[in-house]
A and B are shown apart, each in its own frame.
Chain A
Amino acid sequence: EVQLVQSGAEVKKPGESLKISCKGSGYSFTSYWIGWVRQMPGKGLEWMGIIYPGDSDTRYSPSFQGQVTISADKSISTAYLQWSSLKASDTAMYYCVMDFGVWGQGTLVTVSS
């Protein structure tokens, strides 16, 4: 079964760093791009960026360029989304997606002092 399994919910303080993960299984991890989508509370879906694990080619949506870092470790079939300094406005559900059709279960990130 093709699936993406994301890391668990996080509660952080403003200014802290965070790295969440998305592990792929059941398919060739290096052959399909993985993207990250943000959904703020009660709001719609926004593409943050994508990575092609085969060569680590990465693209960011202009709204998220410089705000987050997307990476992947193909040796363990895992993609990452990280922040160096969280803000309260980063509070959201974050989904990883493979080739549009396979979605992770989501990671809820809460940033509050």
Chain B
Amino acid sequence: DVVMTQSPLSLPVTLGQPASISCRSSQSLVYSDGNTYLNWFQQRPGQSPRRLIYKVSNRDSGVPDRFSGSGSGTDFTLKISRVEAEDVGVYYCMQGTHWPWTFGQGTKVEIK
């Protein structure tokens, strides 16, 4: 299985400050069609996960533009330009290139 490794696992942030989460895969996530199927999900407390970013850097409809994704190959990053209170939760990267698809361990974002 492809192992997805996130860091940090806990991220205390100050409101209005930026935050960054790293995700590394144990092998390249470039699929045979040329796409890289790397997604980012947010799970707020008590809620279902919600996809924020698909194919590395594409924001889902309704996702604030303070969220951005970048990366290639095996190294990926989710950035929040200015953290707001509603961003508290656990963030997961997930690869959809190799079956079985796999999630990272999750990064818990909390307000300092």
A residues engaging B (CB < 8 A)?
35, 37, 44-47, 59, 61-63, 95, 100-101, 103-106
Contacts and interface: CB of A to CB of B under 8 A. Distances in A.
Contacts of A104: 48
B96 A100 contact: yes
Contacts of A95: 48-49
Given A62-B1, A62-B100, A45 B49 contact: yes
A35 B39 CA distance: 15
Contact of B60 (A37, A45, A101, A105): A101
B103 interface: yes
B82 interface: no
8 contacts: A45-B94, A59-B99, A59-B100, A61-B101, A62-B1, A63-B100, A104-B48, A106-B48
B48 A45 contact: no
Interface string B82-112: 0000000010101010011111111000000
B100 A103 contact: no
A46 B54 contact: no
Given A45-B94, A100-B94, A103-B50, 4 more contacts: A59-B99, A61-B101, A100-B96, A103-B49
A37 B43 CA distance: 13
B79 interface: no
Interface size class of B (residues with CB under 8 A): 20 to 34
B92 A44 contact: yes
Contacts, number: 44
Contact of A101 (B43, B51, B99, B104): B51
A59 B96 CA distance: 13
Contacts of B50: 103
A100 B54 contact: yes
Contacts of A37: 49
B51 A100 contact: yes
A45 B103 contact: yes
Nearest to B103: A45
A48 B102 CA distance: 10
A63 B99 CA distance: 12
